[in-house]
């Protein structure tokens, strides 16, 4: 069993890293550096990646969003983008629709 720390990164983290006036911006880099020192592996999904681009472009600037895209696609980026498979998309819709019936 691997002791490697694996972390799923959501949009809030990417926004905190990219948007200077975000409430968590000053905490984001020290935390990222600490986790990188622990050799954590960071994952995100293609959906989170796309959402992050939109939020960063709206809250910071188009240029910041372009920089985010370029940095995420660098070979040395600590973040791995995983594509959500169609079977997972269908399963998540079924779960969501079933939850609506129980409200």
41 C-beta neighbours (distance < 10 Å), count = 13
List the Cα angle 10/15/18 in 5-degree steps.
Answer: 130
- Position 21 pLDDT exceeds 70: yes
- Position 71 pLDDT exceeds 70: yes
Whether residue 9 contacts residue 16, with contact meaning beta carbons closer than 8 Å, is answered with no
pLDDT tier at 101, thresholds 50, 70, 90: low
- Position 102 pLDDT exceeds 60: no
Nearest-angstrom CA–CA distance, 60 and 19: 6
Please report, rounded to a whole number, the percentage of residues in the chain having pLDDT higher than 90.
Answer: 76
45 C-beta neighbours (distance < 10 Å), count = 16
pLDDT tier at 5, thresholds 50, 70, 90: very high
Looking at domain 6-101, its CATH superfamily turns out to be 5'-nuclease (3.40.50.1010)
Q: Scan for tokens 């926004």, then name that residue.
A: 15
Task: Compute the average pLDDT of residues 54-74.
Answer: 97
């Amino acid at each position: 069993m691997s002791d490697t720390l694996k972390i799923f990164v959501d949009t809030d983290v990417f926004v905190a890293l990219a948007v200077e006036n975000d409430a968590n911006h000053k905490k984001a880099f020290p935390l990222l550096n600490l986790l990188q020192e622990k050799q954590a592996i960071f994952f995100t999904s293609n959906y989170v990646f796309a959402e992050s681009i939109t939020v960063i472009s709206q809250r910071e600037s188009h240029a910041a969003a372009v920089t985010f895209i370029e940095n995420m696609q660098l070979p040395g980026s600590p973040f791995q983008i995983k594509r959500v498979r169609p079977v997972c998309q269908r399963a998540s819709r079924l779960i969501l629709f079933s939850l609506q019936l129980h409200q």
